[in-house]
Amino acid sequence: MEAKVKKVDALDDIWVLWNRTAQAIRRAREVELHGVAGLSLIEASVIYFVKASKEPVTPAILARSLYREPHTISGLISRMENRGLVRKEKNLARKNQVRVVLTKKGEQAFKEQSKADAAQKDLISCLSEKDRDNLKVCLEKLHKKAIELIRESKRLPYQ
């Protein structure tokens, strides 16, 4: 049973609904990923990003792209390296920089996570094509505004 939330104003209602929905979607995806691939959501995001990137991926690029602090990504990459999912390679062009690459185990995890998309498809399928198009437009606007707010705060690494 869900707790009743006292209404304050319309914007608060939207924010609470947005946050609860985002958390529920994240949790559904985490449960699915853990069951199929043994991955957390952030690990799956790293694996997907490294696999999908057309250019070499550095920890700094991951931090900016996944909206995480550099030290958080550094620790995550180290844990993933210990699990055999990724490895750090020296960048031959810039000796003080490393690239993150998938191992065979990481490639396998990518294949497994790609199969684990039932929750995503099931969630999106409850929306009509018009609803999906409208949602995409709204999400793009919200993303753009969030990036503006982050940049205004001068908080790196998201510049």
Structural class in CATH, domain 10-126: mainly alpha
Spell out the SS3 assignment of the chain.
CCCCCCCCCHHHHHHHHHHHHHHHHHHHHHHHHHHHHCCCHHHHHHHHHHHHCCCCECHHHHHHHHCCCHHHHHHHHHHHHHCCCEEEEECCCCCCCEEEEECHHHHHHHHHHHHCCHHHHHHHHCCCHHHHHHHHHHHHHHHHHHHHHHHHCCCCCCC
What's the whole-model pTM score?
Answer: 0.78
Q: Is the pLDDT of residue 159 over 60?
A: no
Q: Check if the beta carbon of residue 44 is closer than 8 Å to that of residue 134.
A: no
pLDDT at 156: 56
pLDDT at 102: 97
Per-residue pLDDT tens over the stretch 94-133: 767 889 999 999 999 999 888 777 777 788 889 999 999 9
pLDDT at 6: 61
**32-46, 64-78, 115-129: least confidently modelled range:** 115-129
Question: Domain coordinates of the chain in residue numbers?
Answer: 10-126
Query: Rounded to an integer, what distance in angstroms lies between the CA atom of residue 94 and that of residue 47?
Result: 23
First to last CA, the chain: 42
Phi and psi, residue 24, nearest 5° = -65, -40
Mean of pLDDT values over 60-66: 92
pLDDT at 142: 94
Mean of pLDDT values over 44-62: 94
What mean pLDDT value characterizes the chain? 87
